[in-house]
Amino acid sequence: MKNHSDTAVLGVITALVGGTAYQVFVWFFYLLGIAKITPFQIGAYIFIRPGLDFTSLPAQLLGMVQHYSLSTILAFITSYCLQKIGTDYLLLKGLLLGMTIYFLFYGVLAKFVVPVEILQPDFATSVVYLFGNLVFGIAASQVLSRLAKR
Torsion of CA 85, 88, 91, 95, to 10 degrees: -20
Please write the tens of the pLDDT for every residue from 11-30.
899 999 999 999 999 999 99
Q: In this structure, are residues 135 and 28 in contact, taking their beta carbons and an 8 Å threshold?
A: no
pLDDT of 3 higher than 70: no
pLDDT in tens, 67-121: 999 999 999 988 888 888 888 999 999 999 999 999 999 999 999 989 999 899 9
CA–CA separation, 37 and 128 (whole Å): 10
Question: Is the per-residue pLDDT at 63 higher than 70?
Answer: yes
What DSSP line would sit under 83-130, residue for residue? HHH-STTHHHHHHHHHHHHIIIIIIIGGGGTS-HHHHS-SHHHHHHHH
Within 10 A of 121 (CB to CB), how many other CB atoms are there? 13
Neighbours of 32 (CB within 10 A): 9
Average pLDDT, the chain: 90
Percent of the chain with pLDDT over 90: 66
Q: How many domains does the chain have?
A: 1
Q: What pLDDT score was predicted for residue 150?
A: 67
- Burial pattern 39-77, b for ≥16 Cβ within 10 A else e, equals bbbbbbbeebeeeeebeeeebbebbbebbbebbbebbbe
Cβ 29 vs Cβ 48: under 8 Å: no
Q: List the domain range (segments joined by +) for residue 38.
A: 4-149
**pTM score:** 0.89
